Amino acid sequence: QVRLVESGGGVVQPGRSLRLSCAASGFTFSSFAMHWVRQAPGRGLKWVAVISYDGFNTYYADSVKGRFTISRDDSKNTLYLQMNSLRAEDMAVYYCARKQQLVYAMDVWGQGTTVTVSS
């Protein structure tokens, strides 16, 4: 079945880096744009970044632009989020999500991976 599984979360000090991964299965990964969305503890959803199906186009929320990089490896059916210069406000559950084709919505979500930023 269609599935997204995030990994790579953990505890990291402010200013350090972390890379998240999202393994996709059950669908043709290379045909879909993909998102990262985060949710701080007890808070709402915040969109982080999107990458086009071919990896040529990436877009970011202002809050992470210049610090985070979204990328993909279609040979491994995996989406990545490289997070640099982490701040306390980056602490959240990070979800990867599939962009539904021809539609600007997210139709498949992973279960999330938790990033804790603390000294």
Partner 1 sequence: EIVLTQSPGTLSLSPGERATLSCRASQSVTSNYLAWYQQKPGQAPRLLIYDASSRATGIPDRFSGSGSGTDFTLTISRLEPEDFAVYYCQQYGSSLYTFGQGTKLEIK
Please select the residue that binds partner 1; options are 40, 84, 109, 114, rule is CB under 8 A: 109
CB proximity list for 27: less than 8 A, separation 6 or greater: 2, 98, 108
Please select the residue that binds partner 1; options are 34, 50, 70, 91, rule is CB under 8 A: 50
Alpha-carbon distance of 52 to 104, in angstroms, equals: 12
| Smaller CB separation from partner 1, 17 or 57 | 57
Nearest to 73 by CA among 55, 58, 57, 56: 55
Least CB distance from residue 45 to partner 1, whole Å? 4
Tokens of 22: 């999202």
Binding site for partner 1 (CB under 8 A): 35, 37, 44-47, 50, 57, 59, 61-62, 95, 97, 100, 103-107, 109-112
